[in-house]
């Protein structure tokens, strides 16, 4: 079975532009979460989606938005990019939420550089 897949792997954008990152969860997983990891830090929670509904949101500005599709894949959108948005964006999928303790499996990430 394929793991969590993210695209693209690398991206360079200019300040003020908009970006869309994509994630396909492990087959059968209905929960997708997004994390931002800046250099030298641990990942920080941005969003969680389960069954196509937003279930949780971290402390990020409204420039960040996401959605989950009927096939459980997800997109993360960031508008009006700032230099500080440069980071590794990680997608995690897990089997359940709110019911049992389950592992979260991560993709390889998208490295976004804002210039």
Partner 1 sequence: SQQGEEDPQALSIQEGENATMNCSYKTSINNLQWYRQNSGRGLVHLILIRSNEREKHSGRLRVTLDTSKKSSSLLITASRAADTASYFCATGAYSGAGSYQLTFGKGTKLSVIP
Report the residue count for the chain. 115
- Of the pair 16, 51, the CB lying nearest partner 1 is at 51
Instruction: Give the torsion sign (CA, 42, 47, 52, 55).
Output: positive
Encoding tokens for residue 2? 């394929």
Binding region for partner 1 (CB under 8 A): 4, 31, 33, 35, 37, 39-45, 48, 50, 55-56, 58-59, 88, 90, 92, 94, 97-98, 101-109, 111
- Of the pair 19, 90, the CB lying nearest partner 1 is at 90
Calculate the CA dihedral of residues 75, 79, 85, 90 and round it to 10 degrees.
Answer: 0
**Of the candidates 26, 20, 36, 29, which has an alpha carbon nearest to the alpha carbon of residue 5?**
26
- Of the pair 14, 101, the CB lying nearest partner 1 is at 101
């Amino acid at each position: 079975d394929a793991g969590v897949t993210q695209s693209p792997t690398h991206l360079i954008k200019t300040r003020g532009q908009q970006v869309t990152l994509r994630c396909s969860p492990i087959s059968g997983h209905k929960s997708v979460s997004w994390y931002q990891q800046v250099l030298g830090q641990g990942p920080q929670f941005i969003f969680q989606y389960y069954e196509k509904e937003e279930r949780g949101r971290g402390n990020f500005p409204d420039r960040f938005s996401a959605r989950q599709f009927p096939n459980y894949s997800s997109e993360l959108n960031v508008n009006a990019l700032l230099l500080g948005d440069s980071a590794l964006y990680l997608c995690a999928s897990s089997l359940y939420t709110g019911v049992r303790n389950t592992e979260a499996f991560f993709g390889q990430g998208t490295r976004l550089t804002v210039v």
